[in-house]
Structure 1
Amino acid sequence: MSVDNGKSELVYHGRRAQRADSRQRRKAILEATLRLIVREGIRGIRHRAVAREASVPLAATTYYFKDLSDLISDAFTYFVEQGLEHTRQLQEDSFAVARRLTPEERATGTGRKLLIQQLTRFILTHIRAQAGNRDYRLIELAFRNEALRNEQLTRVIRMANSANESLIQEFFELLELADPPAAAQIVHGTILNLEYQILSGAITHDSPLLERSVTMMIRGLIPATLPVTEAARA
């Protein structure tokens, strides 16, 4: 079973649920897995513990997920599906700002300044919202750490990163930057790092350093003169 997310595809490995009640039970198992990760980390994931948390028979967890690797990777895929909505919202807001300005306006100093200000605000809002959901960030970090030891989960992490970066990349393609994939890597990496800095207490939600960091990143990515007549090259 796979979920199409634009340029990347997130794949489920466990047994597919056909009926509505089966889908609900499978969802309950995945959500129970995520709750256990918040409390106990990946090491707390066992079929019996998940069944107890989800209030389902033990046989249900082994029916949908023949081994723990499938359960862990599918729980992360489910988790990523929810998180992608936040990235899509960031993309939509960014696209709206860029499209309100004509290419000629974006190429002016005033237009570039407005674009940088708006993008900085959207990214800061996104980072603060993500860091504010501590449980979700704990889940994400637990999965990323486990992926270093779990090849199947590593593949899922890569697909998740690709899905997020594709959404960011599309925005920089709209601006016709010279290297949208590299720009997407920089933005995604910076967002993840700043979220971690807030979670760890290194900086606060309202830290001036947070805003300065995002502003500097965006200024560095958006050139002083944006192309106006090179759309055919994209």
Structure 2
Amino acid sequence: MNNNNDSRPAPDGKAELKYRGRRTSREKSEQRRRQILEATMRIIVRDGVRGVRHRAVAAEAEVPLAATTYYFKDIHELIADAFTLYTEWALAYVQKFASEFRDTARDIRGYDMTDPRQQLEAIERLVTSLSGFSRGKLAEDTRMLISEQAFRYEVFVEDRVRRLALMHRKALTEAVREITMLMGSQMVEEDTAIVMAILHSVEYQLLLDEGDSDAPERILRRYLSMLLPMLVQPEL
């Protein structure tokens, strides 16, 4: 029977990702279920969410049609579990980014922002880190960036997908909030929201340009050149 309570810890350790499709204790069966979900992700990247059909997924996964209906009772459950798989990837990526950026933010707080050279160096380090977060999605796994865009409509029509999207956004927001706090922001929530909006815009730009543009860096550099002197105070 379906195990609707199956879950695993999210990479941030603060929430759980719950799969709704049929789970089994047999390793081979779990591999097939994962194979179906990964095939679903490939279809979403190639054809969009509306391209997900049991027959199309079975062909993509190279499994019998009956296998998709065995593990997933309907298309909604299959799509929701595919988004759970995406969220698992995305949360792990966010946590990796947060850990790396935390070190950068701490270093920058030690810069003398009255020194133009150090200020420029600080801005470039931030630009490299923030643009690297978005470019990394495109370079390491295009599925992550395209899937995020593809699932946005599903957020409004499928409540479970909406909850997963909120989990993902919360993890990224917490990472960015920590960064703005480390940088000494006096308006943490507002600056966090601005950085989040810029990251979303940058990622959309990267998809449109297929990564062949320096627009993300230019946008981030412009914003940070205005914001950084207000956020980072020189060490006394």
Q: How far apart are the structure 2 equivalents of 1:53 and 1:143? A: 19
Q: CA deviation at 1:122?
A: 1.3
Q: CA deviation at 1:98?
A: 2.7
1:10-159 matched pairs, under 5 angstroms? 10-100=17-107, 105-106=110-111, 108-110=113-115, 113-132=120-139, 134-159=142-167
Q: Provide closer, same or farther for how the CA distance between residues 206 and 40 of structure 1 changes in structure 2, counting only shifts above 3 A.
A: closer
- Does the 8 Å CA contact 1:147/1:157 hold for their aligned counterparts? yes
Aligned to 2:199: 191
Measured against aligned partners, the alpha-carbon deviations of 1:139-165 in whole angstroms (never above 9, x if no partner) come to 221111232222322222122111222
Q: CA deviation at 1:225?
A: 5.6
Aligned to 2:9: 3
Q: How far apart are the structure 2 equivalents of 1:189 and 1:90? A: 17
Which stretch has the larger CA shift, 78-87 or 216-225? 216-225
Q: Kindly, what percent of the aligned residue pairs are identical? A: 34
Unaligned segments of structure 2, at least 5 residues: 1-6
Aligned to 1:216: 222
Q: Provide closer, same or farther for how the CA distance between residues 176 and 70 of structure 1 changes in structure 2, counting only shifts above 3 A.
A: farther
RMSD, matched Cα: 2.8
Size of the alignment, in residue pairs?
225
Q: How far apart are the structure 1 equivalents of 2:101 and 2:70? A: 43
Q: Provide closer, same or farther for how the CA distance between residues 184 and 64 of structure 1 changes in structure 2, counting only shifts above 3 A.
A: farther
Q: How far apart are the structure 2 equivalents of 1:151 and 1:216? A: 37
What secondary structure is seen at the aligned counterpart in 2 of 1:224? helix
Aligned to 2:3: none
Q: CA deviation at 1:5?
A: 3.5
What secondary structure is seen at the aligned counterpart in 1 of 2:186? coil
TM-score of the aligned structures, taking structure 2 as reference length = 0.79
- Does the 8 Å CA contact 2:101/2:179 hold for their aligned counterparts? yes
Measured against aligned partners, the alpha-carbon deviations of 1:31-67 in whole angstroms (never above 9, x if no partner) come to 0101111232211212232122212233332232222
| Highest RCO, 1 vs 2 (Cα 8 Å, sep ≥ 6) | 1
**Aligned amino acid, residue 32 of structure 1:** A
Aligned to 1:205: 212
- Does the 8 Å CA contact 1:175/1:226 hold for their aligned counterparts? yes
Q: How far apart are the structure 2 equivalents of 1:224 and 1:112? A: 12
Q: Provide closer, same or farther for how the CA distance between residues 148 and 97 of structure 1 changes in structure 2, counting only shifts above 3 A.
A: same
Q: CA deviation at 1:76?
A: 1.2
Q: How far apart are the structure 2 equivalents of 1:165 and 1:184? A: 7
Q: Provide closer, same or farther for how the CA distance between residues 204 and 75 of structure 1 changes in structure 2, counting only shifts above 3 A.
A: closer
Q: Provide closer, same or farther for how the CA distance between residues 225 and 125 of structure 1 changes in structure 2, counting only shifts above 3 A.
A: closer
Measured against aligned partners, the alpha-carbon deviations of 1:142-200 in whole angstroms (never above 9, x if no partner) come to 11123222232222212211122222222223334334344333222212211212322
TM-score of the aligned structures, taking structure 1 as reference length = 0.80
Unaligned segments of structure 1, at least 5 residues: 230-234
What secondary structure is seen at the aligned counterpart in 2 of 1:14? coil
